[in-house]
Structure 1
Amino acid sequence: MIFLVAALLLMGVLVGAAAHTPLPVLLPAAAAIALWLLVFTVRERTKER
C-alpha cells in the first residue's frame, strides 16, 4: 500500500512539473511510471491468496 501511495505522489509531482518539462524528458518518465504501475498490477493480480 505504501508503494501505491508513493507511486501516486510521484505521479502528482511529475504531472505538476510536466508544464515546465520538455517533451523528450517527459515521455520516457511517463512511460517508466506506466510500466512500473503495470508490473505492480500484474503482480498483485497474479499473487496467490
Structure 2
Amino acid sequence: MLFLVAALLLLGVVLGTVAHAPLSFTVIAAVVIGVWLTVFAIRERHGRRRGPATD
C-alpha cells in the first residue's frame, strides 16, 4: 500500500512538472526516455540469451 501511495505521489509531481514545461521540451524528454527504455530492453533481452554474467 505504501508503494502505491509513493507511486501516485511521484506521478502527481511528474505530471505537474510536465504541465508547466513547454511542449517541445516535453516531447524531447519523452523521446529520450523512450530511447533509453528501448536500449535497456534490448540489452536485457540480449543478456538473457547469453546466460548469467560471470565476474
Which range, TM-score by smaller chain? 0.5 to 0.7
Whole-angstrom distance in 2 between the partners of 1:16 and 1:44:
31
Identity %: 42
Structure 1 segments (4+ residues) deviating >4 Å: none
Q: How many residues align?
A: 38
Structure with greater Cα Rg = 2
Q: Which has the higher contact order (CA 8 A, sep 6+)?
A: 1
What's the counterpart of residue 3 of structure 1? none
| TM-score with structure 1 setting the length | 0.65
What's the RMSD between the two structures over aligned residues?
Answer: 1.6
14-23 or 37-46, which deviates more: 14-23
